[in-house]
Amino acid sequence: MFSVIYKWRWTEGANLINEAMLLPHASIQKKIKMTMKTKLLKLLALITVAASSAIAAPEKKALPKVLIIGDSISIGYTPFVQKLLKDTADVGRIKGNAQHTDTGLKLIDKWVGDTKWDVIHFNWGLWDLCHRNPDSKVQGKRDKVNGTVTISLEKYEKNLEKLVVRLKKTGATLIWAETTLVPEKEAGRNVGDDKKYNDIAAKVMKKHGVRINELNVLTSKFPADHFKKMGDVHYKKEGSSKLGEQVANEIRAALEKNSK
């Protein structure tokens, strides 16, 4: 006497079909039923996993885009800004050194590109006020005694005016970074010129309603061990870290204001 049992089979196209099978013994029928049950449970589990994976995960919202423009001082603090804002903004920086405002006018279109920037944090100054002499043996041809200033105060103001007008066209929130401190015994820069150039910059920024990040105020309070060496405008890790913290705070504040 033969009994009829059914075996479920999963085929291509995800269809279930029935196949009648005639088996001679009840014990074999029971064993096959158990096997069928196990396979069916596995099949149901696979269907559940497939259905779950088919549900797309919600897309992660793109972070606001921030551009930093500046000289070697900004090269030093940018990594700290990026770390502090890693979950808040996509912080990028121009390649290389922005140098002085003449270089800015030449390359600003390339730096800005066609990216939709939310915030642009920018500075020119230390290169502008630097005196250089082609015959100087000092690094960078610096020579504040016999050299010539790179960009005069008058030209600096005119260049900044043009640069701010161009940057405003991006629609980004602009943050002007003050030129940092010129320390004693700097080979190509006169102590106090940082204030003169910052005063001119402040005049331009206030005219256009641009936010000012007071980095000169910050660096004027730095202890001597924050500078790489005496007479050097550059900073050790401790100095760059503090600059990065203040820059990050200014950018964060601007982004929060934009989101309201």
Could you give all domains of the chain from N- to C-terminal order, each with its CATH number?
A: 3-54 (no CATH), 65-259 (3.40.50.1110)
Three-class SS of residue 69? strand
How many degrees, rounded to 5, is the angle at CA 173 between CA 171 and CA 175?
Answer: 135
More confident residue, 17 or 208: 208
- CB contact set of 175 (below 8 Å; sequence gap of 6+): 119, 120, 121, 122, 210, 211, 212, 213, 250, 251, 254
- pTM (2 d.p.): 0.79
Find the range with the poorest average confidence among 2-11, 170-179, 198-207, 222-231. 2-11
Q: Kindly report which listed range (28-32, 139-143, 163-167) carries the lowest average pLDDT score.
A: 28-32
- With bands split at pLDDT 50, 70 and 90, how would you rate the model's confidence at 36? low
Mean of the per-residue pLDDT values of the chain: 87
Contact 178, 198 (CB under 8 A): yes
Q: Which range (4-13, 38-47, 204-213, 224-233) has the least confidence?
A: 4-13
Share of residues in the chain with pLDDT > 70 (%): 77
What integer is the mean pLDDT of 26-47? 58
Whether pLDDT at 215 is above 90: yes
Above 50 in pLDDT, residue 14? Answer: no
Question: What confidence score (pLDDT) does residue 20 get?
Answer: 38
Where does the pLDDT of residue 201 fall: very low under 50, low under 70, confident under 90, or very high at 90 and above? very high
Q: Which residues of 93-129 are buried (b: 16+ CB within 10 A; e: fewer)?
A: bbeeebbbbbbbbebbeebbeeeebbbbbbbbbbbbb
The average pLDDT across 156-161 equals 98
pLDDT attached to residue 39: 60
Q: Say if residue 80's pLDDT is above 80.
A: yes
Q: Which whole number is the average pLDDT over 29-42?
A: 58
- pLDDT-based confidence at residue 242 (cuts at 50, 70, 90): very high
